[in-house]
Amino acid sequence: MSAIPLLEVRDLKKHFPLHGGLLGRQTGAVYAVDGVSFTVNKGETLSIVGESGFGKSTVGKAILRLYPITSGEVHLDGQRIDNLPGPHLRPLRQRVQVVFQDPFSSLNPRQRVGDIIAEPIVNFGLASGSELEDRVAGLMDKVGLPRDAVKRYPHEFSGGQRQRIGIARALAPGADLIICDEAVSALDVSVKAQIVNLLSDLQDELGLALLFISHDLAIVEHLTHRVAVMYLGKIVEVADRRTLFATPHHPYTRALLSAVPVPDPTAPRNRIILRGDVPSPINPPSGCRFHTRCPLAHDRCKVEEPVLRDVGQGQMSACHLDTPLG
């Protein structure tokens, strides 16, 4: 793997201002992403997992420059991209693509599948005429779409097939990083597995990097190299897949994993039920944000924020149980 990560996110923050009153003044903010750092290497899958509303999609959208970030830096192949002015964004738009959960809303219903896949190739001036047709046909083969799909419309396809269309469109401009935001979450179990296998095969064949955003840890286990666990706008644990699933360290990761269904329902398991309501990113708890639900919380957790630190062999966890008293 290259020394420079393909994607590097440094201390990323995205706060959405809240306005109120007659004058529409800012009254607060949604601290959706509040200081997140990670890397994704070429050809690697990093999964971001966590419960709903914890900022996973906001991380993806901030990288894609779908809105300005509050602070922090995003680097692609060593080049800073979060502050690039509009006209210089073309390489980012070409190299970083996204596949969303609901392909139906992201595919133009009035466009034929062939045109949907051809559009980015045309926009980036990569091919025309018969070369364009060949490229579209090649992409459809790669993602397992029948050739006659070229003249059909998205509504004629099942959810899984539509997701294949979305993946072909993402590959079309020659992307080397695809952000998959809950890309398989809405699919039936068997279709889910097919799309996960497709992504995995495409990664092997094309050396693609994937940022796989999901609330479903069971799916992540089959696809990812590393996992970053998010809790209320922060990353609380990062580890390679085997380590995270075999020896989860952070109390939140342990609780999440204890809820993942196991193939053998008779196997012994200790489900950790989290107490308390999920806190709001408008008013995050002081100290460790997980302290209102953590079964191991102690006094220090309410006042001091734990930092991510190496707890052995590259496994990073943010919990006071690992840190000496300062």
Residues 140-199 that bind ligand SF4 (CB under 6 A): none
**Residue whose C-alpha is closest to residue 290's, from 303, 304, 301:** 301
The whole-angstrom separation of Cα 71 and Cα 15 is: 9
Q: Which amino acid is at 305?
A: E
Q: Write down the least CB distance from residue 49 to Mg ion, Å.
A: 11
Q: Which C-beta is closer to ligand ATP: that of 44 or that of 181? A: 181
When CB distances are held under 5 to 8 angstroms depending on the partner's kind, the choice from ligand ATP, ligand SF4, Mg ion, none that residue 139 binds is none
Q: Which is nearer to ligand SF4, 74 or 232 (CB)?
A: 232
Chain contacts with ligand ATP (rule: CB under 6 A): 16, 30, 32, 50, 52-58, 215, 281
Place of tokens 């609901």: 102
Give CA–CA dist 254/162, Å, rounded: 34
* Binding flags for ligand SF4, 240-279, as an x/- string (CB under 6 A): -----------x----------------------------
Among 117, 232, 306, 316, indicate the residue that binds ligand SF4 (CB under 6 A): 306
Q: Which of 41, 45, 57, 97 binds Mg ion (CB under 5 A)?
A: 57
The greatest distance separating any two alpha carbons of the chain, rounded to the nearest whole angstrom, comes to 69
Residue whose CB is less far from Mg ion, 47 or 57 = 57
Q: Which CB atom, from 15 or from 320, has the smaller least distance to ligand ATP? A: 15
Non-local (6+) Cβ contacts of 315 within 8 A are 237, 238, 239, 240, 243, 244, 247, 249
Structure tokens at 97: 């693509």
Token pair 């957790």: residue: 301
319 scored as a contact of ligand SF4 (CB under 6 A): yes
Residue number with CB closer to Mg ion (61 or 249): 61
Strands (E), the chain: 7-20, 25-40, 45-49, 71-76, 79-80, 96-99, 177-181, 209-214, 226-231, 234-240, 309-310, 316-317
Smallest separation, CB 318 to ligand SF4 (Å): 7
How many beta carbons lie within 10 A of that of residue 294, not counting itself?
A: 22
Pick 239 or 297: Cβ nearer ligand SF4: 297
Residue where the block lists tokens 């992409």 = 139
Question: Which tokens belong to 268?
Answer: 């012994």
If binding is defined by CB under 6 A, does position 72 make contact with ligand SF4?
no
Residue 297 binds ligand SF4 (CB under 6 A): yes
% helix, strand, coil for the chain, step of 5 = 35, 25, 40
- Give yes or no for residue 32 binding ligand SF4 (CB under 6 A): no
Residue 163 contact among ligand ATP, Mg ion, ligand SF4, none, beta carbon within 5 to 8 Å by kind: none
Angle between helices 189-206 and 129-143 (to 10 degrees): 130
Q: Considering beta carbons, is residue 154 or 251 the nearer one to ligand SF4?
A: 251
Residue found under tokens 């590259």: 314
Q: Would you tell me which residues interact with ligand SF4 (CB under 6 A)? A: 251, 288, 290-291, 294, 296-297, 301, 306, 319-321
* Contacts with Mg ion, residue ranges (CB under 5 A): 57
